[in-house]
Amino acid sequence: MEKKILIIGGGFAGVTAAREMAKKSPKSNITLISNKSYFEYYPALYRILSGMSPIEVCVPLEDVLPENVTIAKDTVIKINPTEKEVEGGLGSYQYDDLVLALGSEVNYFGIKDAPTNTYRFGTTNSAIEIKNRMITLFEEYASGGKQEHKLHVVIVGGGPVGVELSGSLSVFMHRLARKYNVDRSAMQVTLVDSGPRVLGRFPEQVSKHVQNRLEKIGVKLSLGCAISDIQHQQVCLPAENLLADTIIWTAGTKPNSLYKDIPGIVLEEKTKRVVVDEFLGAQGLPNIYVVGDGAATPNSGLAQTAMYDGKYVANVILAREKNTPDRKIKKYKVPVTGYIVPVGLGWAAFVYKKFRMYGTVAFMLRLAVDFEFLFRLLPLARVLDLYWEGFRYRVIEIIKR
């Protein structure tokens, strides 16, 4: 009888796993459950602030996945490994093999009021919300509603997301200052991190180059500062309180909370990620695989790792379907990943092993990577449709302003 393969999660890992299985085993019974009807290319979210269309970031799952993959738009409530059943808000789903690609959620590190007093950057909707807020604040300031900290933005978190957002937001605010004839001295972007440098997981020399670039485009750095509290329009630091009308949280993520509720699951004590075996199988839970952000692997949390994991697990499942002995299946190998972090318009830092590159070429390389990924997902005609829709969006935006 045909096996039922169930994938939970419509992000990089889940989509890659579904596509790989559908391609290599067209007659497989594959279902992907996602609480969204679209795939979100979140590495490009920062570009929404510079005029990119949301249409170019969100692609319908039906365009991304082959026809032999069933898409179920639902929210998973419970996973029962004993019964091999997943309970969703709209129904239940049986499986023979289960791939968990649940992604991650925001981590506020115990700062009680952070969720209510900050904007969260990490989805298309949040990027649009921040963009619209900046436009509104500049309009209010220009019309006479001036406040000392109205145009002060504090970004919490000096990782890649915080750095990308800081650079993009600084450029965007300078553009708004020109449009609304606002003195640039009235605006400020401050990046706060508890560590001694930005991009703490990167080599120190890379952090130094990126910090120099941030300061060059007007971003103020407040490093080595542990936040004690975030109140309404106020970030409380040991030496001072930063007043800002807009506070954006990018400081960290944690594995999806659904993982800890799975009976029999084994989590790492520190990271709370799922302990997996040499085939990315959840320890002690047969026929359940964990890919992407939730797996306790060295490079977990990166888009590149998520795609690598999805492809790897798809091949493990297909090999086991053919009764291939485990000794003949390649064990999971940690992927070698590179990083390209854009900082403002036309500049990026590229890191791959011991190779380093900074500036315009690295920035263009990042754009090429984004385009290449879409070309891999979609037919050329569909990619061109997306960018035509994006062009029309930008024209409409210009006319409206």
Res 91 pLDDT > 70: yes
What per-residue confidence (pLDDT) applies to 391?
52
Res 270 pLDDT > 70: yes
The angle subtended at Cα 347 by Cα 342 and Cα 352, nearest 5°, is: 60
Res 121 pLDDT > 50: yes
Is 321 inside any structural domain?
A: yes
- 347-374 pLDDT per residue, tens: 999 999 999 999 999 999 998 888 888 7
Res 400 pLDDT > 80: no
Is 63 inside any structural domain?
A: no
Residue 328 pLDDT class (50, 70, 90 cuts): very high
Same domain (yes/no): 164, 307: no
Q: What distance in Å separates the CA atoms of residue 58 and residue 259, rounded to the nearest whole number? A: 26
What per-residue confidence (pLDDT) applies to 138?
96
Same domain (yes/no): 177, 318: no
Same domain (yes/no): 307, 209: no
Cβ-based neighbours of 172, under 8 Å, separated by 6 or more: 49, 50, 131, 134
Same domain (yes/no): 184, 206: yes
What per-residue confidence (pLDDT) applies to 2?
78
What per-residue confidence (pLDDT) applies to 1?
61
Q: What distance in Å separates the CA atoms of residue 55 and residue 381, rounded to the nearest whole number? A: 15
What per-residue confidence (pLDDT) applies to 386?
64
Same domain (yes/no): 155, 220: yes
Res 235 pLDDT > 60: yes
Same domain (yes/no): 127, 224: yes
Same domain (yes/no): 192, 258: no
Res 385 pLDDT > 90: no
- Cα–Cα distances in angstroms (integers) from residue 325 to residues 7, 36, 98, 286, 316, in the given order: 23, 37, 19, 15, 11
Same domain (yes/no): 247, 257: no
Same domain (yes/no): 118, 163: yes
DSSP secondary structure code for residue 224 in this structure? S
Strands 234-236 and 229-231: antiparallel
pTM of the model: 0.91
Of 57, 5, 66, 22, the closest CA to residue 36 belongs to: 57
Task: Please give the residue that has the higher pLDDT: either 44 or 350.
Answer: 350
Q: Which residue, 319, 335, 351, sits at the end of a domain?
A: 335
DSSP secondary structure code for residue 306 in this structure? H
Q: Which residue, 335, 369, 384, sits at the end of a domain?
A: 335
Same domain (yes/no): 177, 323: no
Residue 280 pLDDT class (50, 70, 90 cuts): very high
Q: What distance in Å separates the CA atoms of residue 179 and residue 166, rounded to the nearest whole number? A: 20
Q: What distance in Å separates the CA atoms of residue 163 and residue 210, rounded to the nearest whole number? A: 8
Is 172 inside any structural domain?
A: yes
Cβ-based neighbours of 118, under 8 Å, separated by 6 or more: 156, 230, 247, 248, 249
Residue 392 pLDDT class (50, 70, 90 cuts): low
- Report the CATH number at residue 26: 3.50.50.60
Cβ-based neighbours of 145, under 8 Å, separated by 6 or more: none
What per-residue confidence (pLDDT) applies to 94?
97
User: Do 356 and 205 form a contact (C-beta atoms < 8 A)?
Assistant: yes
Average pLDDT of the chain, as a whole number: 91
Give every strand in the sheet of 69-73, ordered side by side.
Answer: 69-73, 29-34, 4-8, 97-100, 288-290
Length of the chain equals 401
Percent of the chain with pLDDT over 90: 79
- Helices of type H across 143-251: 160-179, 204-216
- Report the CATH number at residue 380: 3.50.50.100
Strands 188-193 and 219-223: parallel
What per-residue confidence (pLDDT) applies to 398?
41
Q: What distance in Å separates the CA atoms of residue 98 and residue 6, rounded to the nearest whole number? A: 5
Res 24 pLDDT > 60: yes
Is 137 inside any structural domain?
A: yes
- 45-90 pLDDT per residue, tens: 888 887 666 666 888 999 999 999 999 999 999 999 999 999 999 9
Same domain (yes/no): 269, 194: no
- 135-171 pLDDT per residue, tens: 999 999 999 878 889 999 999 999 999 999 999 999 9
DSSP secondary structure code for residue 287 in this structure? T
Q: Which residues of 356-375 are buried (b: 16+ CB within 10 A; e: fewer)?
A: eebeeebbeebeeebeebbe
Q: What distance in Å separates the CA atoms of residue 236 and residue 64, rounded to the nearest whole number? A: 44
- 196-224 pLDDT per residue, tens: 999 999 999 999 999 999 999 999 999 99
User: Do 33 and 86 form a contact (C-beta atoms < 8 A)?
Assistant: yes
Is 57 inside any structural domain?
A: no
- Domain count of the chain? 2
Q: Which residue, 287, 318, 335, sits at the end of a domain?
A: 335
* Residue 183 structural domain: 114-251+340-400
Residue 399 pLDDT class (50, 70, 90 cuts): very low
The SS3 of residue 304 is helix
Is 40 inside any structural domain?
A: no
Is 188 inside any structural domain?
A: yes
Same domain (yes/no): 394, 282: no
What per-residue confidence (pLDDT) applies to 393?
45
Is 44 inside any structural domain?
A: no
